[in-house]
């Protein structure tokens, strides 16, 4: 009996961690959609000390990368970024055009709760958002009960994408 219970507990633990990852859209599909079926080749933004300092202010921690890939055509750029929700990274695609969020999309969600952040009722709040002088979003984003850390993660990523878009132009 004890062996059966141990096996059942192990199965539940393993299946819970596997089931926690939900892919809503692949990066390739996101880029196809962001650029009307014709995504540009990726470009690279080097993260010098000054940029790293601002990124740390936005995220609350350093980004341990020397460069970031992005895709751009004209005034539109697309960024695929990750931030930890509670324990696991949330992979997010963000399209910026003319210094404003055009689209934000959760590509892969790995947390056990808070998955509601992938729904349009939440992500549509970001459309048209820009950055103010303090590098904060220029509009409030309503939270979701039970998804506070995921909401914070997506808000940070939106701010980061807007900041990075400014940097590619400077």
**Position 11 in a domain:** no
Q: How many domains does the chain have?
A: 1
Q: Which domain holds residue 92?
A: 23-169
Tokens of 143: 């939270």
Report which of 73, 69, 91, 80 is spatially closest to residue 35, judged by C-alpha positions: 73
Does a structural domain hold residue 5?
A: no
Per-residue tens of pLDDT for the chain, all 170 residues: 555 544 444 444 444 444 479 999 999 999 999 999 999 999 999 999 999 999 999 999 999 899 999 999 999 999 999 999 999 999 999 999 999 999 999 999 999 999 999 999 999 999 999 999 999 999 999 999 999 999 999 999 999 999 999 999 77
Domain membership flag for residue 158: yes
Asked if residue 124 belongs to a domain, the reply is yes
The verdict on residue 67 lying in a domain is yes
Q: What's the pTM value of the predicted model, to 2 decimals? A: 0.87
């Amino acid at each position: 009996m004890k062996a059966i219970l141990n096996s059942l507990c192990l199965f539940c633990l393993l299946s819970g961690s596997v089931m926690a990852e939900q892919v809503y859209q692949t990066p390739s599909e996101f880029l196809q959609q962001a650029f009307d079926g014709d995504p540009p080749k990726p470009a690279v933004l080097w993260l010098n000390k000054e940029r790293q300092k601002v990124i740390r202010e936005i995220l609350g921690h350093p980004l341990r990368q020397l460069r970031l890939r992005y895709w751009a055509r004209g005034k539109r750029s697309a960024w695929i970024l990750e931030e930890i929700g509670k324990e696991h990274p949330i992979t997010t695609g963000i399209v910026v055009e003319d210094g404003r969020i055009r689209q934000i999309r959760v590509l892969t969600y790995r947390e056990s709760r808070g998955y509601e952040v992938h729904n349009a009722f939440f992500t549509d709040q970001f459309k048209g958002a820009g950055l103010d002088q303090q590098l904060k979003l220029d509009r409030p984003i309503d939270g979701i009960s039970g998804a506070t850390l995921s909401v914070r993660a997506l808000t940070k990523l939106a701010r980061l994408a807007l900041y990075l878009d400014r940097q590619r132009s400077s």
